[in-house]
Amino acid sequence: MNGNSVEAKLREDIPSARERSPDLNPAAGELARRLDEIAILLDIDGTLLDLAPTPREVWVPPGLSRTLNRLLQKTSGALALVSGRSLNDIDLIFAPEQYPVVGGHGAEMRLAIDSEAVASHAPPMDKELKRRLAAIAKLSPGILLEDKGYSLALHYRLAPHAEKAIYEAVSLIRADLPNAPIEVLPGKCVCEIKPSGFTKATGVRELMTHEPFKGRRPIFIGDDVTDESVFAIVPEYGGLAFSVGRHAKGMAGYFDDPREVREWLARLVGDEAAAKP
């Protein structure tokens, strides 16, 4: 069985979000009537936004901000973006809108759109460590650096041949600095080096202790391995997690792609125009 047919088999076994959880089927209107009990937590890249060749080339499709603003209003603020991107980057992408955010894989947070307070759990990365990691980008043209201050991402979507060399170079640096409190986070065509001690799940846990998220059932949608830490904890809150485009441990169902996620969310807020495939 080759890779594709294994994936195809998985898809047959796990029905889509709409089939698996009738109470979440917005067509039935059930979930739409219960948005006051729900917290909507959404990953960004590969979930809300289609993947692009480089981090800077993503764009917010027409209608998505309207959907997110309606969700924010209908959940009385219990909507948050849960991303590996930095908070500043997220605000740039969705400008002029601002949402509650768990950013940097849990490094920083904004609990509400009108709150300035941004809890940050990550000090700036050590300068010498950052310099050595950044030098890895010289291994090949096409490797892009993304400096988030507290962490660094080495993107190789434009240089897929460099994947192995990047991870080997990072391992050598880590072996040289065994006490550096960092961890390597594999993502989609990216190797992220971040401080240890926090994840998207720790960020979501913190978010769920604050109003209006506290006491609500989280519905989380995510596409990558780094989202599985949240998949593991949503059942504790009576919530559900949905994956995008891949089978993920602990998922209640899946969406084929970000377009389907956007249409599902639009249906949830009764925006039939945006919900049309």
Ligand X SMILES: O=P(O)(O)OC[C@H]1O[C@H](O[C@H]2O[C@H](CO)[C@@H](O)[C@H](O)[C@H]2O)[C@H](O)[C@@H](O)[C@@H]1O
- Interaction between residue 224 and Mg ion (CB under 5 A): yes
Catalytic residue, chosen from 13, 23, 36, 43, is 43
- Interaction between residue 218 and Mg ion (CB under 5 A): no
Q: Let me know if 91 is a catalytic residue.
A: no
Question: How many angstroms separate the CA atoms of 8 and 140, rounded?
Answer: 34
What residue type is assigned to position 52 of the chain?
Answer: A
Instruction: Tell which positions 167-196 bind ligand X, by CB under 6 A.
Output: 187-190, 192
Tokens of 9: 């088999």
What residue type is assigned to position 35 of the chain?
Answer: L
Per-residue contact string for residues 108-147; x = within reach of ligand X by CB under 6 A: --------------------------------------x-
Q: In terms of Cα–Cα distance, which of 28, 76, 61 is closest to 267?
A: 28
Question: How many angstroms separate the CA atoms of 35 and 39, rounded?
Answer: 8
Binding test (CB under 6 A) with ligand X, winner from 83, 199, 202, 243: 83
Q: Considering only 109-117, 152-160, 162-170, 216-224, which stretch makes contact with Mg ion by CB under 5 A?
A: 216-224
**Residue listed under structure tokens 């792609």:** 257
Q: In terms of Cα–Cα distance, which of 139, 141, 138, 126 is closest to 174?
A: 126
Q: Considering only 41-49, 85-93, 118-126, 164-172, which stretch makes contact with Mg ion by CB under 5 A?
A: 41-49
CB of 227 to ligand X, least distance (A): 7
Binding test (CB under 5 A) with Mg ion, winner from 24, 31, 38, 46: 46
- Interaction between residue 103 and Mg ion (CB under 5 A): no
Q: How many CB atoms neighbour CB 129 within 10 A?
A: 17
Per-residue contact string for residues 149-168; x = within reach of ligand X by CB under 6 A: ----x-x-x-----------
Instruction: Tell which positions 38-57 bind ligand X, by CB under 6 A.
Output: 43-46, 51-55
β-pair partners for 255: 244
What is the DSSP track for 74-120?
Answer: HTTT-EEEE-SS-HHHHHHHHTT----EEEGGGTEEE-STT---EEE
Catalytic residues: 43
